[in-house]
Amino acid sequence: MASITRRMAVALLGGGLVAAGSAAAQDMKSVKIGYAISKTGPNAGGANVTQIPNYQLWVKEVNDKGGLMLSSLKRRVPIEIVEYDDRSNSEEAVRAFERLVTQDKVDLLFPPWGTGLNLAVGPVFNKYGYPQLAFTAVTDRAPDLGKRWPNSFWLLGTSAQYVDALVGLLTKMRADGKINDKIAMVSIADGFGIDLSKAAREGFTKAGFKLAYDKSYPIGTQDMSPLIGEAARSGADSFVAFSYPPDTIALTDQAKIASFAPKVMFLGVGVGFPLYPGRFGANTEGIMSLGGWSRDNKATAEYREKHKAMHKRDPDYWGSQVGYSSLQMLEQAIERVGKIDRPAIIKELQTGTFDTVLGKIKLRDNMLQEGYWLIGQWQDGFYTGVAPARPGAAPVIVPKPAWK
């Protein structure tokens, strides 16, 4: 399998190399966890911000305690990691996960980055009965997938949830006379963009908005200036992009160059990344996207500090806290079961209540359905939650301030 990188790393415990072992054996020396993720290709930016740092942080924290507590063995067992590069390619990802299960004989799997790849590898997780805690996938298929693949858990919500929250905000702005009824929308032609743009077309139309511009673009597109130009000429006060990180950066850059400053600027994945305010500074003010953080959540603030201490940068302000919470859920489920019994771990994830940085989590229908922000906005250097309407939600800034 020359197209996939060799096995990457084993976790260290007390400075020594952790030996591999079978989860079924009484003398097991490690719990082997494998994943394939986009270390190269267009998805690498998202994977290297939202997922890989969380995997590294959680494994270190668990191994610093001596490993996962398995009551069946009456001791802690450290984690060993097996990692491949899926090169942002669904076929590579599927082959890699097959290899992790059939050749590397891993005990558990971590999910890949993004909606498209999680959908692509879902059948592999299901075929072999591994829990799939998808925390970087947004799809309206989540309720059906939770039934079809009862081992899968969809933690970032559905497209309809995000669109409903956005439509609610835009409807209020229109009623207050702050924006007109025209929307310019662009979307990446990938699972994420396809799903969200479909839900948005339905939601905007139902709410009486007019799509003055609606265009999809292929993954890997670098020149966004034609899209920006058409959106600027559309007469829309609101610009909505369901974009991946490279596109989000390019759209922001080129909107600024073109002096395109819509009253509402809603962009996709990457707005909550630490590199975004690092690159655009005060120009992030008023830009909206998916996710958001609570200013007053002590647990997420402490998680942020741990993340910064290890990785020297902030986490992603959308998926990171959900992803870290999913790892906390997995740890608690394993330790309650007391052994690496995948069907029992899946059952515990389906039915248990877990203490996480987001608070207490209990999944419903294999989905996380509350406790996180759907829409956020950069305000005074903090990416704060603005929807849904619940305690801690900040008032939306509109219009977005002019480019500086």
pLDDT in tens, 119-172: 999 999 999 999 999 999 999 999 999 999 999 999 999 999 999 999 999 999
0.85 cut: is pTM over it?
yes
- Token readout for 362 is 């209990």
Give the per-residue pLDDT at 369: 86
* Ramachandran assignment for 241, one of left (phi > 0), alpha (psi -120 to 50 degrees), beta (any other): beta
> Among 3-12, 109-118, 132-141, 290-299, where is mean pLDDT lowest?
3-12
Q: What residue type is 141 in one-letter code?
A: R
> Among 13-17, 222-226, 276-280, where is mean pLDDT lowest?
13-17
Where do the domains of the chain lie, and which CATH numbers do they carry? 12-157+297-362 (3.40.50.2300), 159-292+374-387 (3.40.50.2300)
Specify the DSSP class assigned to residue 290. E
Give the per-residue pLDDT at 191: 87
Determine the Cα–Cα distance for residues 387 and 119; give it in Å rounded to an integer: 27
- pLDDT tens for 373-394 read 999 999 999 999 999 988 899 9
Determine the Cα–Cα distance for residues 330 and 32; give it in Å rounded to an integer: 14
* Ramachandran assignment for 380, one of left (phi > 0), alpha (psi -120 to 50 degrees), beta (any other): left
CB atoms within 10 A of CB 258: 15
* Ramachandran assignment for 273, one of left (phi > 0), alpha (psi -120 to 50 degrees), beta (any other): beta
Determine the Cα–Cα distance for residues 288 and 393; give it in Å rounded to an integer: 14
CB atoms within 10 A of CB 390: 11
Give the per-residue pLDDT at 3: 43
Determine the Cα–Cα distance for residues 108 and 329; give it in Å rounded to an integer: 14
- pLDDT tens for 273-288 read 999 999 999 999 999 9
